[in-house]
């Protein structure tokens, strides 16, 4: 399945965990009704309250592998042993058929792969924490992970930060409103639209 990206543009947000990219995206979705969020596929089990087709497309490991073999993913990665995440090409087609602009919230490697695929039809934005100390504070305030998981995320984050120069734009998320405004202005410029 090929994606027809002749006239369609996409917006990519990537960042280390805890940088605030999802919060920025939620704010942008309120300002840009023409955007639609790309739902990722995963081979992990759904958590309590998660809905198939809303939070993720939940696939078995076998279903995920079959879709990889059939070249149905735009990008995918085995993030943790045995657990894969990816973007289905059909998801992009679904959003474009609704006349919307795709907005991605993906890990750093996924963001670079999507940018490579779409080239100048994509605006790739890297959300940077003000410092590693602030990033660690944000991860701890969430209070959703073990100490071991936090340390793994911090270790991965320091590697991910090295990839920031490969993105079209880096936004330092120190003050949320300023980060959102910066993203908004750059997106408007990229899409050639005037928001009042």
Return the domain boundaries, the chain: 8-34+104-196, 35-99
Q: Is the pLDDT of residue 30 over 60?
A: yes
User: What confidence tens digit (pLDDT) does each residue in 38-75 have?
Assistant: 999 999 888 778 899 988 999 999 999 999 999 999 99
Q: What is the β-pairing status of strands 83-88 and 122-128?
A: unpaired
Q: CA 116 to CA 75: how far, in whole Å?
A: 10
Residue carrying the six token digits 């100048």: 120
Domain 8-34+104-196, architecture per CATH: 3-Layer(aba) Sandwich (3.40)
Pick the CATH number of 35-99 from 3.30.63.10, 3.40.50.2300, 3.30.470.20, 3.40.50.150: 3.30.63.10
Q: CA 195 to CA 176: how far, in whole Å?
A: 20
User: What confidence tens digit (pLDDT) does each residue in 117-170 have?
Assistant: 999 999 999 998 877 787 777 777 766 667 777 777 777 777 788 889 999 999
DSSP state of 40: P
DSSP state of 11: E
Q: Could you tell me which residues are beta bridge partners of residue 52?
A: 56
Predicted model pTM: 0.83
- CB 135, CB 127: distance < 8 Å: no
User: What confidence tens digit (pLDDT) does each residue in 64-107 have?
Assistant: 999 999 999 999 988 777 889 899 999 999 999 999 999 998 88
Structure tokens of 80?
Answer: 């943790």
Q: CA 160 to CA 16: how far, in whole Å?
A: 6
CA angle 190–33–113, rounded 5-degree value: 50
């Amino acid at each position: 399945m090929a994606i027809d990206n002749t006239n369609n543009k996409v917006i990519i947000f990537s960042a280390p965990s805890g940088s605030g990219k999802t919060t920025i995206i939620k704010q942008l979705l309120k300002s840009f009704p023409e955007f639609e969020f790309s739902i990722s596929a995963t081979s992990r089990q759904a958590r309590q309250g998660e809905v198939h087709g809303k939070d993720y497309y939940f696939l078995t490991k076998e279903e995920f592998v079959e879709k990889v073999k059939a070249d149905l993913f735009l990008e995918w990665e085995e993030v943790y042993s045995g657990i894969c995440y990816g973007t289905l090409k059909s998801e992009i087609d679904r959003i474009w058929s609704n006349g919307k602009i795709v907005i991605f919230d993906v890990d750093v490697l996924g963001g670079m792969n999507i940018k490579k695929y779409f080239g100048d039809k994509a605006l790739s934005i890297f959300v940077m924490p003000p410092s590693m100390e602030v990033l660690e504070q944000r991860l701890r305030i969430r209070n959703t992970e073990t100490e071991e998981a936090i340390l793994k995320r911090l270790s991965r984050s320091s590697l991910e930060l090295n990839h920031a120069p490969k993105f079209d734009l880096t936004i330092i998320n120190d003050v949320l409103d300023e980060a959102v405004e910066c993203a908004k202005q750059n997106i408007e410029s990229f899409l050639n639209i005037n928001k009042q």
